[in-house]
Copies of this chain bind each other. A is one copy, B any other.
């Protein structure tokens, strides 16, 4: 079993920042993640990451990863299936192996919530998508639909209207609600046809999506709407089943952390969207990743009888250019 000082589960803003910090402290650091970037990939136009006027999510996350790797952080693309919390040793099992570490940082973010209707699983990746920015361009000049709630749904509709020939926006509520500027943008765009007070009942097609069945909230009326794609924007959930019973979760299954990024389990820290942080922003996740990493470092230092630190202001040589 390979042993590390720190293992970080998750390779987006929080996890990558944590790996940058622990690697800079000279800790042997492994990031285990399914992919790089997480929800930052959902946008190609980040304007509010301080210090960078405008950048795509993919580009920003690539910079995070390169910076962490330059100080020696290692990466393994794999899925974690379970963790075990022992005093002074955490064991992480993936689909292909086992790793141990002194301190563990959970930073695996959130996952899109399914609609939960017939046809959804069958057509995933064949017209059913959970990322407008990622998959929108595939449906250039074609008819797409968005089913969802809140600003994410409005934002997806506005983005897709710039790509598709028509956007059906299906909202469960009786009017378009959300951020003022997004509501205005939805209402002003002729390509967006809003079906308020409707829900998707099923997704139909052959090899790919051909239509969706809509129904009024009271079930009184059904309507078949032709579409080449359905973008689901039902929000995000924390898939924390595999850490339940090890760290304390709140009612939304988010990992509860304190000011130090510490969970209820000794040696296990957490950061980013998977925690009970109230807002979802790259810079917030990055800040939390830094907190969790410094706490993990101090935890290891204490175990080893060495001094702790409140900062990382030093110059460190990179291991590669």
What is the interface of chain A, defined by CB distance below 8 A to chain B? 13, 16-17, 20-21, 24, 26, 42-43, 45, 47-53, 55, 60, 63-64, 66-67, 70, 151-152, 155, 177-182, 259-260, 276-281, 283-291, 294-295, 306-307, 309-316
Contacts and interface: CB of A to CB of B under 8 A. Distances in A.
Given A182-B314, A279-B311, 10 more contacts: A16-B50, A21-B48, A50-B286, A50-B290, A53-B67, A151-B311, A178-B307, A181-B314, A278-B291, A279-B310
A309 B47 CA distance: 17
B52 A13 contact: no
Given A283-B286, A287-B287, A311-B280, A60 B70 contact: no
Given A47-B315, A177-B307, A180-B306, A259 B286 contact: no
A48 B70 contact: no
Given A278-B260, A286-B287, A290-B284, A155 B313 contact: yes
A48 B64 contact: no
Contact of A313 (B20, B21, B26, B151): B151
B50 A13 contact: yes
B48 A51 contact: no
Contact of A155 (B276, B283, B314): B314
Contacts of A181: 26, 314, 316
Contacts of A312: 48, 281
A48 B24 contact: yes
A306 B181 CA distance: 13
Contact of A278 (B55, B60, B66, B310): B310
A143 to B, nearest CB: 24
23 contacts: A16-B50, A17-B50, A24-B47, A51-B63, A51-B64, A52-B52, A53-B66, A151-B311, A151-B314, A152-B313, A155-B313, A155-B314, A178-B307, A181-B316, A182-B314, A280-B310, A281-B311, A283-B290, A284-B290, A286-B286, A287-B287, A287-B288, A287-B290
Nearest to A18: B50
B287 A259 contact: no
Given A276-B259, A284-B291, A291-B284, A51 B60 contact: yes
A278 B260 CA distance: 7
A304 to B, nearest CB: 11
A181 B317 CA distance: 11
A283 B179 contact: no
Contacts of A310: 278-280
Contacts of A295: 278
